[in-house]
Structure 1
Amino acid sequence: MRRRITLLVAATTSVVLLAFLLPAAALVARAAESRALDRAQAQLQALIPAVGLDEREEVAAGLAVTDGRAVTVRWSDGTWVGPEGVLGDDPAPAGAELRETGDGVHLLQPVRRQGGTAVVEVFVPEAELRADVPRTWLVLGGLGVVLLVLALVVADLLARSLTRPVTDLATTAHRLGSGDLSARVTPAGPDEVREVGVAVNRLAGRIGELLVAEREAAADLAHRLRTPLTALRLDVEALPPADRERLLGDVDALTRGIDEVISEARRPVREGLGAGCDAAAVVGERVRFWSVLVEEERRPLAVRLPAEPVLVRVAPADLGAAVDALLGNVFAHTPDGTGLEVAVRARDGGGAVVTVADDGPGLAPSALERGHSGAGSTGLGLDIARRTAEGSGGAMRVSSSPAGTTVGLELGPPG
């Protein structure tokens, strides 16, 4: 837009300057020619009385070359006083006449006297006809260039004042679209752009309010389930041992699902906020947290973490929740004693890949869909991990077979 405004002003200014400078240049040329001819005419008129009185000596004394103009007189008997002029032996003209040649202009003035007609001729060279014209044209051209440059400077400043608020508005819209709900526009520019900026700020604030209200409402609804769930656990514990263990497992799966719902509902949107952490440190801390359960279930565990920090664009709490979800899936969907491996490696170009692999029986295809699970849980664990990876600019890769399952989180570098 800025470039288009500048080009438009440049084109308009060029047309206006041409419309002014071309006639001015032509007028300058005509004025210079008119001045030269007026001076020659005055010189010619000064000789007419002497020629009319046939005062040849006085005429001969007055002939000279003045400012490049050659003055000559042909008497009625055909003799010339001075160099022979352009008239030659041709008959005298009936009146004043102007003849143009390649090197200038000849003014012819017949003078009638007794015995015939004499002719006074004044030659004005081309240089005198164009005197000071090139210099004046150069001044006009320089003036045109200066005016054009000034117009372009003013147009660029005006275009910048118009486009900068629009650019800031677009930048803020992109930040809002990437999840940065704290982004706001500083209203500036024309009134219409200011109104749009105010509306975007109001919309961003309203979106943030709605998201907070939605998260809190979802968390509150899930939290309300804890009381009936506690009562259900007490009822199950009162059942005979044959049914109690099976139902307690279902109650525990339901409890984990409710915890995931509450955690996810109260998890703020972090994509695009520039949050970052050391993936190796976070993953190592979560592995240590789960190590007690690993020992209790006698699972072989391999941990591969780099010695150097691996920075990613994910908040520590979000990455910890994603790792917890993946490890929780392993414990929930594989039998005791199943080995697992947790690894972190740096990606080419920045970021990291967090991998959680197990030697279990593999996942059913429906387990990759949000809300589906094959073990009585809510099926939100993989979806939490997927959205964490995508929120950092990466992706989640799942490879599953009867020989085991590998989930890789590709995390983008901090922005």
Structure 2
Amino acid sequence: MKRRMINSLLIVVLVVVVVFCVPLALVEKRTIVSSAQDRVDATAVRVLALVESRLAAGEGVKEGRVFESQVTEGSYVEVQIPGQPVLSAGDRPAGNHLLRAAEHGTSGEIVTVEQSREDVDHEIANNLLLLGVVALLAVQAAVALAVWQAKRLARPLTELAETAERLGSGDPRPRDRRYGVPELDRIAEVLDTSAERIARMLTAERRLAADASHQLRTPLTALSMRLEEITALAEEPETVKEEATIALQQVERLTDVVQRLLTTQRDPRSPTAVAFDLDEVIKQQVEEWGPTLREQGRVLSLEGLHGVTAVGTPGTVAQVLATLIENSLMHGAGTITLRVRPSGTSVVVEVQDQGAGVPADLGNRVFERAVSGRNSTGIGLAVARDLAEADGGRLELLSLKPAVFALFLGRSHQD
């Protein structure tokens, strides 16, 4: 590309030089020759005027010294007067290429002036040389300008190609570079916009993967425990049937979680809220977390209202409560209390334990991603808050010690 640009600009300059310099050289040559010829003609006129004036005065012209003062340097003058010998002044130039002028007087006088073209040709050569030097300098300047312009344009194109290559290799960082060339700046702007869009898409994909892995972990753990209990109680058909039913419910819940994650990823604003029995969701959590609680010697206590009809998505509410219970099992201690209470037009489900609580330096930062008081992923509470807000509710930390998390839900007017 650089070579093409240099060659193109060089050809343009050469054409311009030829188009302007050749006619200029011809005009200059003609001007120099014409000026020299005018000087010869003027010399002939001056000599003739002097000769005629002397003849008119009766002084006569006997020798060439009379008009020698009117002869320019390098010229040869010859005067022919009727009845007199030919008079001359100066050295007669040799050669055939001469500048010649002849003037005729009223009494038959003839004045002939000749001058060599050597000086004229030398002046023409000097002017042509000067014009050639100027043309050469113009070509050199054009080459330098072409090289500079080629580098100026090639460097941005190289960088834009590198940016496009980085985008293709999965590095979507925008470079925010502009080059002062509108077309190149437009390409750079489009690439930066695409980089930002790809970065957002990659972030969303990574976030979906992290959310999915975290959201699926709890149902899979509960399902695994149920299957272990089924294996241990294989000799009791009724118990096996009950546990199998609960396991199927876990599978359904797991399917619902996957479906909600994909739906939220496609359209976070898709409405799914309905009126549902809050007691059923809480009962489901008690059944699912029962084996884990018993294994750790913990108790899940229920307090507050019963028979409340809340507004939301049962699966989402179940997932949020499961996250809060799991958080209490991991970071808390003692009895876990699920308390249902009214709050204006809302119903609040509080999850409280008897542990050390949330460190003061964390506060509401516990809902930020990658923020955790212990060795955990730091995703659970952030995902739970996002799920609650997407479902029309909200999740808050009401107390640091003891740790009290509250899920605010809409309350049906049927209550």
TM-score of the aligned structures, taking structure 1 as reference length: 0.45
TM-score of the aligned structures, taking structure 2 as reference length: 0.45
Structure (1 or 2) with the greater helix fraction: 2
Structure ID, larger Rg: 2
